[in-house]
């Protein structure tokens, strides 16, 4: 019980669960995008089931620790949906339509896991106005793809691929611009990509620093309220109203 209330543990716990949720989404995207060999598909399925098991343990642990279990279940419907083992329900049935249904169910579970961390995602995207940086980067990516499509006379598919690997600063080198306009476009995309990665790193650092400062402020405020409550007999109605309003604000 004390462990779950520990701030450092909570931060590590939240990061770990978020990474697992991202892992599920990555596995799903790869599974839907490629016709994987059977041995790779089995490995992915095992990893997916292990992550499902971890989320199930997490859910039932929190349910066990919850004082009002009925309220906990109602407040965590998305968590409950995300741990339902749909995989096993269809795994033994070799029917094409049910196979497609299983992929849809996996997609639904991945979306539910993303929604589970929606509040954290929203806060992260708003840190340093990072949401605008993402839109600018995506706009540059697609505009660069269109530009290189005409400048180098390559297919739009190859242009998008080139723009993506260039903006991520990976640069496989399988497609290299030969024209002056193509090289100018490449330079602009690389600069935007480097800026995006730098902004991403700064946003991650700021996000966790703000969370730490917010937690410290909250803890300090609660301690101040406890100190005031130790002298409860000296408090008037206005003081009690102030304490009530502060506690409501902290709870939001």
pLDDT number for residue 74: 81
pLDDT number for residue 142: 92
Exposure string over 181-213, b if 16+ CB within 10 A, otherwise e: ebeebbebbbebbeebeebeeebeeebeeebee
Token pair listed for 24: 């599920």
Per-run averaged pLDDT (10 residues), the chain, 252 residues: 53 76 78 75 82 85 83 78 64 49 63 70 82 91 90 86 83 74 89 90 80 62 72 72 74 64
pLDDT number for residue 85: 67
**Residue ranges matching CATH 1.20.120.350 in the chain:** 2-116
pLDDT number for residue 1: 43
Token pair listed for 64: 């066990």
Close Cβ partners of 41 (under 8 Å, ≥ 6 residues apart): 31
pLDDT number for residue 20: 81
**Residue ranges matching CATH 1.10.287.70 in the chain:** 127-251
Tell me which CATH code domain 2-116 carries. Answer: 1.20.120.350
Rounded to whole angstroms, how far apart are CA atoms 40 and 46? 10
- 44 with 25: CB under 8 angstroms? no
What angle, rounded to 10 degrees, do the helices at 130-152 and 180-230 form? 170
Token pair listed for 190: 């690389």
Q: Note the CATH architecture for domain 127-251.
A: Orthogonal Bundle (1.10)
pLDDT number for residue 215: 60
């Amino acid at each position: 019980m004390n462990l779950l209330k520990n701030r450092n543990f909570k931060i590590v716990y939240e990061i770990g669960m978020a990474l697992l949720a991202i892992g599920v989404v990555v596995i799903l995207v790869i599974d839907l995008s490629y016709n994987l060999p059977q041995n790779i598909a089995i490995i992915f399925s095992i990893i997916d089931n292990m992550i499902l098991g971890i989320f199930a343990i997490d859910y039932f642990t929190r349910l066990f620790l919850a004082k009002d279990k009925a309220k906990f279940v109602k407040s965590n419907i998305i968590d409950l949906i995300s741990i339902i083992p749909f995989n096993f329900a269809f795994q033994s049935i070799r029917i094409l339509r049910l196979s497609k249904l299983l992929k849809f169910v996996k997609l639904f579970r991945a979306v539910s896991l993303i929604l589970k961390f929606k509040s954290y995602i929203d806060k992260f995207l708003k840190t340093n106005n990072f949401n605008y940086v993402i839109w600018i980067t995506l706009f540059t990516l697609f505009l660069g793809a269109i530009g290189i499509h005409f400048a180098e006379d390559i297919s739009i598919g190859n242009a998008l691929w080139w723009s993506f690997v260039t903006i991520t600063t990976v640069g496989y080198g399988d497609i290299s611009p030969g024209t002056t306009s193509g090289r100018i476009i490449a330079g602009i995309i690389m600069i935007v990509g480097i800026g995006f990665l730098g902004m991403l790193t700064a946003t991650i650092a700021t996000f966790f620093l703000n969370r730490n400062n917010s937690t410290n402020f909250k803890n300090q405020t609660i301690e101040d309220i406890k100190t005031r409550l130790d002298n409860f007999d000296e408090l008037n109605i206005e003081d009690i109203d102030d304490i009530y309003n502060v506690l409501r604000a902290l709870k939001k």
